[in-house]
Chains A and B, each alone.
Chain A
Amino acid sequence: MKSTFTKIACLFLLVGNSITTTAQDINVLVQNVKKKIEKVNDYEAEGTMKTNVAFLKIPIAKIKLYFKRPNLLKLKSEQGVSFMPKGAMSLNLNHLFANQQYVIIDGGNEKINNQLVRVAKLLPNDDNSEMVLSTIYIDPANEVIVKSKTTTKENGTYELNMYYGKYIGFGLPDKILFSFNAKDYKLPKGITFDFDDGSSQKAKTPIAKNKKGQAEIYIKRYLINKGLSEKNFQ
């Protein structure tokens, strides 16, 4: 009886110890990711953005992305009338760590595109924080965030999928898939006096209304830590 009790006690100790070790690991990993991101004080990025929203037929935009620590980020279109996703702030990974007061919860391991990633959930301590919860998926080998899901109070949930290339050393992705909740767009009938070309009758089959919008951002080049004027953020 005594030996069984000792065995159970040992088992609890082992499990408890292993949990503590994992929790420490995820804290260390998150800190390492943060350090990598913090190597970048500012950057200017050039690229293109393809917007996929059911009701929008807009061309691929040439964009410029400006960032300056701690939390300035501006996404600008270089030409034409632009539709810039409002949640673009979440493209700035610094904002995840901007407020030091958060609790990190270990979400275990997951696989993304056959790649093993560590999952960490960041819970802000501040009740007034716009961010409710952020789940980040970290590539432990390269110490970069490959995916993040951020739920906000006012603007729904944003999801980022990031693909890295030559700027992986700075934790800056070459390709970003930015998903956001897109509200339905409906104009009252008759307001636009449209030409009925018969195509609406042909397309009477129910169309799956995708409420998710997505922006695909491809970055051609980054200019890192060259010093940026705040004028770029106006």
Chain B
Amino acid sequence: MWSLLQIELYKISRRPRTYIAFAAIMAIVLIFQFAFKADGQSYMNLMLQNVQDNFEIDRSKAINGYFMCYIILNTLLVQVPILVALIAGDAISGEANMGTLRLLLTKPVSRTKIILVKFIASFIFTIVLLIWMAIFALLVSMFVFGIDDMLIFRVKGDESQIMQITKDDVLWRYIAAFAYAAVALTVIAAMAILMSVFAENSIGPIVATVCIVIFFTIVSNLNVPIIDKNVKPYLFTSYLVGWKGFFYINANADGQPIKGSIENWPAIRNSLCILIGHIIIMLGIAVAAFNKKDILS
């Protein structure tokens, strides 16, 4: 199993497209950092709106490394699934396309093991991608913008809120958020592998996965009450942003944030369970389908 995994990781590392993901993340993060360094006040003005009529806010302190990372993740975690699909969608179909799949299956290794190894390799790729993102979005932002208390802007039902998390209460939330994001992106990897089982070339599963993610994400964010109630809970994309739950800090009766608290841990836990359930189901279907598949290529 270990040697198989090494081979898979070697294959991923030899593909030029693997590095597209890392380059894309680096470019997007650096552009964001540049934009906020140059004119972050405009964004802050938009978010603070008429709060500035009542309060004097030190906006330069508010735009700090922690805040920047949150903004970058907010944007990137919509695009990163595409980058994960780029690798995972190629796992089986890439072999089929190159004609190496039949050769691979002549080896004394079960098909289940092959699927699992490809899944683990995609998972490792996802983790490395997230670490890369953490280095640029969090560590570089902390270095460039410094650290201070973090402001979270949130729309909760019909209300809008501004939450402030003290700087000594932020880092563990990012660690938890990145761990959650790893699970969320693994769902995409599992889905791309499932698509990959049914395809003979890489483009199909990659495009199909991306289309599903984009379509479901749009539906998840439509904010139409009937969809919110009847459709949204059944879309896995609704749970991809669950990492934000770690930043929704609980407050006491006076409205003061409680250090180290999370407003709704059961909701995050349920979301995690739903995502893990999706991984298991999709991987299960992929294994079953691959075991029954007549390999002709």
Contact = CB atoms under 8 A, between A and B. Distances in A.
Most A CB contacts (10 A, CB to CB) among B47, B55, B56 go to B55
A107 B242 CA distance: 58
Contact residues on B (Cβ < 8 Å of other chain), bracket: 35 or more
Contact residues on A (Cβ < 8 Å of other chain), bracket: 35 or more
Nearest to B49: A185
B55 A196 contact: no
B16 interface: no
A81 B61 contact: yes
A55 B61 contact: no
Nearest to A81: B149
B58 A185 contact: no
Contact of B54 (A52, A182, A187): A182
A52 B62 contact: no
Contacts of A181: 54
A187 B268 contact: no
Given A193-B221, A197-B268, A60 B256 contact: yes
A5 interface: no
A185 B160 CA distance: 6
Interface in A26-83: 50-60, 77, 80-83
B53 interface: yes
Given A80-B148, A197-B248, A213-B54, A187 B223 contact: no
Contacts of A203: 156-157
Contacts of B162: 55-58, 185
Interface in A153-191: 155, 180-191
B226 to A, nearest CB: 13
B265 to A, nearest CB: 9
Interface string A181-217: 1111111111111111111110110010000010000
B251 interface: yes
Contacts of B268: 197
B160 A187 contact: yes
B244 A59 contact: no
B164 A201 contact: no
B280 interface: no
A200 B57 contact: no
Given A60-B256, A193-B74, A80 B155 contact: no
A86 interface: yes
A84 interface: yes
Contact of A59 (B49, B57, B166, B243): B166
B264 interface: yes
A57 B152 CA distance: 10
Contacts of B78: 193
A85 interface: yes
B155 A57 contact: no
Interface in B152-199: 153-164, 166-167
Interface string B113-136: 000000000000000000000000
A82 B57 contact: yes
Interface string A127-147: 000000000000000000000
A185 B268 CA distance: 26
A148 B56 CA distance: 22
A184 B50 CA distance: 8
Contacts of A190: 155, 221, 223
Given A57-B251, A189-B155, A190-B221, A197 B245 contact: yes
Instruction: Return the 8 tightest CB-CB contacts between A and B, nearest first.
Output: A200-B157, A197-B267, A80-B149, A195-B244, A187-B160, A58-B164, A197-B264, A81-B149
6 contacts: A77-B58, A191-B155, A195-B242, A199-B264, A203-B157, A213-B54
Interface of B: 47, 49-51, 53-58, 61-62, 74, 78, 148-149, 151, 153-164, 166-167, 221, 223, 228, 232, 238, 241-245, 248-249, 251, 254-257, 259, 263-264, 267-268, 271
